[in-house]
Amino acid sequence: MNDQRKRVGLFVPCYINDFYPHAALATLEILEAHGYEVEYPESQRCCGQPFLNNGLIEEGREFAGHFADTFERYDYIVAPSSSCIGTAKYRYEGVLDPRRHRALAPKLYELCEFLHDVVGVENLKFDHPFPHRVGLHNSCHALRELELASPSELMIPHYSKIERVLSRVEGIEIVRPSRDECCGFGGTFSVQESAVSAMMGRDRIADHRGNGVEIMAGVDLSCLMHMEGLAKRDGTPMRFLHVAQILAGRTDFE
């Protein structure tokens, strides 16, 4: 832990800011508890993902530029979201000035990735036990873009940075679903392809329910928000938590 003097910029996705602020607060608290000086630049805006994913390059370019303006002065940029980090890391290519992008990309971390790769698993200390069975939702950006865990498609040795970080929480029992499949959120996909999206989400929930799980956790609240909406509509007893909430003991919020 020799680089705590380095400055961490906290990026909070727009929907987390308004709908799930406790996940952002949990992220901030975890980073501070591990000795980092964290700054939340209030001038930040959306990373541009909704625009880039829908082919609106001009808007994407504008938000990417703003993201770089806001965050390039930090040593690390950490967010409780693999999809926003994935966007800045991989989808700014050809959108942001290549030199700026090359400088920015290696500084970008999803929270668990930062805890695993930069802080180091052995240095992690979480004070709040969580004696529950937790079904881990593998979001696609975490799995197949940021490579935080081994996806079932690849014939490589199994690993999961998220599981390794979560395992440091006392009492937790992590349950893997039978498929590491997409939940069907997919941004505008969730409304444009509403029927398919809903079936995908319901299938994920049923998979976890089949394991006797009543708490689902993940590193992307967008996926969880979609599944939470489905579970609520169906009256399925399932709670959805961002991994940061478990790590920081902020699990009492609705």
Contacts of 57 (CB under 8 A, 6+ apart): 51, 95
6, 102, 125, 232: residue in contact with other proteins (rule CB under 8 A): 232
**Helix, strand, coil % in the chain, rounded to nearest 5:** 50, 10, 40
Taking CB under 8 A as the criterion, which residues in 105-144 touch other proteins? 140, 144
Cβ(29)–Cβ(248) below 8 Å: yes
**Site membership for other proteins, residue 250 (CB under 8 A):** no
The closest of 209, 243, 249 to 223, measured between CA atoms, is 243
* CA nearest neighbour of 115 among 174, 33, 5, 226: 33
The answer to the question of residue 55 lying near other proteins (CB under 8 A) is yes
Q: Please pick, from the candidates 113, 145, 163, 207, the single residue that binds other proteins as defined by CB under 8 A.
A: 145
Of positions 135, 177, 184, 218, contacts other proteins by CB under 8 A: 184
151 scored as a contact of other proteins (CB under 8 A): yes
Minimum Å gap between C-beta 231 and other proteins is 9
Instruction: Determine which residue in the list 197, 218, 238, 250 makes contact with other proteins, applying CB under 8 A.
Output: 197
How far from 24 is each of 15, 135, 209, 238, 248, CA to CA, in Å? 11, 21, 27, 21, 11
Footprint on this chain of other proteins (rule: CB under 8 A): 12, 14-22, 24-25, 28, 40, 42-43, 45-46, 50-51, 53-57, 59, 62-63, 66, 91, 140, 144-145, 151-156, 179, 181-182, 184-201, 203, 225-226, 228-230, 232-233, 253
